[in-house]
């Protein structure tokens, strides 16, 4: 399914959208619920990745396919390693078989797990033979993906002595590790994170808190930040349910988008995004996104749509996500006439006021490619190829975009 966005210079001046729970928080809490069934979770994400996670945890099959869901692949590898008397094959999409998992598998093996590679060494699919993990201390490389670390932390409280992790190298995507620790703390699991060492105590007895409400997804909110940034002065979009003290690192959007004139007001359980003229529209956008990699695509496209120079660093994890996002961004932006240069961990976009028309944006099975480019419908007519890819994190995206006044065909 392709979707054409007809150039819409004006969306509704005021609109309201409800986004479901954070996919990251949901997938952590689903795993914790499998370990501690008394936990109840509200406002779960309706994303494919969370639905797949839920299904996988309930499944009694011997082969479990988690398609494109990175967190599900990593978290379930740790989970099934501890499920005694269970033997499963954990597999995924063609792209999942190219996303590395060796760092996590090595760490789990070090703790006593029995995991085998079924195709390429270091990559899914995996055969996992569940057994009690006998050790409690392990070192692992922390500069490739924080998901390996979160996976180990999520199962830690069920091990006899908990877990102590020593993290080697620069720690990437730190807010996601802190999110994991905060959720563990919320249910009464004690943790320490000092320097490059994290430890998690075993949980004796039942979880302290049983009802948890997931805050809505900030990464999904990013597309509306972009829409407001590219809109006329005073355009407002209200998004629910969000809070000021978020566990999600992508809540940094509220700060970042001030550079594009978007003001965020926290109102009960929602946020109101409003376009103002209180910003310097000439200033280049310069950011290190190693703490918030999922909003890189949104920010670059906003910068392009608003004719701003943009230099992003800290993008080393983008190459192993749903697609190589650095190459995908460069390729697709250049179709609109943008000048983009990339390295292994950075992207530079030159300011330009020309935006090509009738471009077909390829999405590479990456939900964020589709959603990041959509706001350009405020500047030009474009077509998003394979637009259904958005369901990985935000199945209602196109409907919500129509609701705020975009013309979709």
Ligand X SMILES: O=C(O)C1=C[C@@H](OP(=O)(O)O)[C@@H](O)[C@H](O)C1
Residues that bind ligand X (CB under 6 A): 24, 71, 145-147, 150, 172-173, 176, 293-294, 317
- Name the strand (E) or helix (H) holding 271: strand 270-275
The entry of ligand X, ligand PEP, none near residue 176 (CB within 5 to 8 angstroms by kind) is ligand X
Give backbone dihedrals phi and psi of 282, rounded to 5 degrees, phi first. -100, -20
Asked if residue 371 lies in contact with residue 390, where contact means CB atoms within 8 angstroms, the answer is yes
Binding-site residue numbers for 3-phosphoshikimate are: 23-24, 28, 145-147, 173, 294, 321
In the sheet with 197-200, reading across from the earlier edge strand, the strands are 137-141, 163-168, 197-200, 191-194
Output the CA–CA distances (angstroms, integers) from residue 49 to 92, 277, 384, in the order listed: 12, 38, 21
151 vs 340 by CB, closer to ligand PEP? 151
Tokens 């695509």 -> residue: 297
4 vs 365 by CB, closer to ligand X? 365
Task: Report in angstroms how near the CB of residue 69 gets to ligand PEP at its nearest.
Answer: 6
Task: Give dist(CA 394, CA 46) in Å, integer.
Answer: 7
Task: Report in angstroms how near the CB of residue 74 gets to ligand PEP at its nearest.
Answer: 8
**Alpha helices for 67-141 (secondary structure H):** 70-81, 102-111
The entry of ligand PEP, ligand X, none near residue 250 (CB within 5 to 8 angstroms by kind) is none
Binding-site residue numbers are: 23-24, 28, 70, 99, 145-147, 173, 294, 321, 325, 368, 392
Give the residue at shortest CB distance from ligand PEP: 70
91 vs 199 by CB, closer to ligand PEP? 91
Task: Report in angstroms how near the CB of residue 237 gets to ligand X at its nearest.
Answer: 23
Write the DSSP symbol of residue 123.
S
Task: Report in angstroms how near the CB of residue 244 gets to ligand X at its nearest.
Answer: 21
Task: Report in angstroms how near the CB of residue 213 gets to ligand PEP at its nearest.
Answer: 21
The entry of ligand X, ligand PEP, none near residue 264 (CB within 5 to 8 angstroms by kind) is none
Task: Report in angstroms how near the CB of residue 294 gets to ligand PEP at its nearest.
Answer: 4
Strand pairing class (285-288; 63-65): unpaired
Task: Give dist(CA 178, CA 295) in Å, integer.
Answer: 18
The entry of ligand X, ligand PEP, none near residue 317 (CB within 5 to 8 angstroms by kind) is ligand X
Four-residue CA torsion sign, 241, 247, 248, 249: positive
Task: Report in angstroms how near the CB of residue 220 gets to ligand X at its nearest.
Answer: 11
Query: 341 Cβ partners below 8 Å, 6+ apart?
Result: 330, 347, 348
222 vs 231 by CB, closer to ligand PEP? 222
The entry of ligand X, ligand PEP, none near residue 21 (CB within 5 to 8 angstroms by kind) is none
Q: Would you call 294 a catalytic residue per the annotation? A: yes
The entry of ligand PEP, ligand X, none near residue 215 (CB within 5 to 8 angstroms by kind) is none
Residues making contact with ligand PEP (CB under 6 A): 68-71, 294, 321-322, 368, 393
Asked if residue 29 lies in contact with residue 51, where contact means CB atoms within 8 angstroms, the answer is no
Among 242, 237, 240, residue whose Cα is nearest residue 272: 237
**Angle at alpha carbon of residue 352, lines to 346 and 357, rounded to 5°:** 105
| The token pair that represents 250 in the structure block | 């992508």
96: left (phi over 0), alpha (psi -120 to 50) or beta: alpha
Q: At what angle do helices 146-156 and 70-81 cross, to 10 degrees?
A: 40
Asked if residue 233 lies in contact with residue 10, where contact means CB atoms within 8 angstroms, the answer is no
- Name the strand (E) or helix (H) holding 138: strand 137-141
Asked if residue 236 lies in contact with residue 13, where contact means CB atoms within 8 angstroms, the answer is yes
Binding-site residue numbers for phosphoenolpyruvate are: 23, 70, 99, 147, 325, 368, 392
99 vs 379 by CB, closer to ligand X? 99
326 vs 378 by CB, closer to ligand PEP? 326
147 vs 302 by CB, closer to ligand X? 147
The entry of ligand PEP, ligand X, none near residue 124 (CB within 5 to 8 angstroms by kind) is none
| Residue among 49, 250, 291, 294 flagged as catalytic | 294
Which residue numbers are catalytic?
Answer: 294
């Amino acid at each position: 399914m392709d979707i054409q966005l007809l150039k819409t210079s004006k969306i509704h001046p005021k609109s309201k959208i409800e986004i479901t729970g954070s996919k990251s928080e949901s997938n952590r809490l689903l795993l914790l619920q499998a370990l501690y069934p008394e936990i109840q979770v509200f406002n779960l994400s309706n994303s494919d990745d969370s639905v797949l996670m839920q299904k996988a945890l309930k499944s009694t099959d011997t082969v479990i396919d988690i398609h494109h869901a990175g967190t599900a692949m990593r978290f379930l590898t740790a989970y099934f390693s501890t499920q005694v008397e269970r033997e499963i094959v954990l597999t995924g999409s063609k792209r999942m078989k190219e996303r590395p998992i060796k760092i996590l598998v090595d760490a789990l093996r070090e703790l006593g797990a029995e995991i085998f590679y079924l195709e390429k060494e270091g990559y899914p699919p995996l055969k996992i033979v569940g057994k009690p993990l006998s050790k409690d201390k392990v070192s692992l490389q922390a500069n490739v993906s924080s998901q390996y670390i979160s996976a180990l932390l999520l199962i830690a409280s069920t091990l006899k002595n908990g877990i102590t992790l020593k993290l080697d190298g620069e720690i990437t995507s730190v807010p996601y590790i802190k999110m994991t620790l905060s959720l563990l703390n919320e249910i009464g699991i004690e943790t320490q994170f000092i320097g490059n060492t994290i430890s998690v105590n075993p949980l004796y007895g039942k979880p302290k808190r049983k009802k948890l409400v997931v805050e809505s997804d900030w990464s999904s909110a990013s597309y509306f930040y972009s829409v407001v940034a590219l809109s006329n002065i005073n355009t407002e979009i209200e998004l629910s349910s969000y809070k000021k003290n978020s566990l999600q690192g992508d809540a940094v959007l509220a700060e970042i988008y001030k550079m594009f004139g978007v003001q965020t007001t926290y109102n009960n359980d929602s946020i109101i995004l409003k376009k103002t003229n209180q910003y310097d529209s000439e200033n280049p956008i310069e950011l290190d996104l190693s703490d918030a990699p999922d909003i890189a695509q949104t920010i670059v496209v906003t910068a392009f749509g608003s004719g701003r120079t943009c230099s992003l660093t800290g993008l080393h994890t983008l190459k192993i996500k749903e697609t190589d996002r650095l190459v995908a961004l460069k390729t697709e932006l250049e179709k609109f006439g943008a000048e983009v240069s990339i390295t292994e961990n950075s992207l530079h976009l030159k300011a330009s006021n020309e935006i090509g028309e009738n471009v077909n944006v390829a999405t590479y099975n990456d939900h964020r490619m589709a959603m990041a480019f959509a706001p350009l419908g405020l500047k030009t007519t474009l077509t998003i190829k394979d637009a259904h890819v958005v369901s990985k994190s935000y199945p209602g995206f196109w409907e919500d975009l129509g609701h705020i006044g975009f013309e979709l065909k």
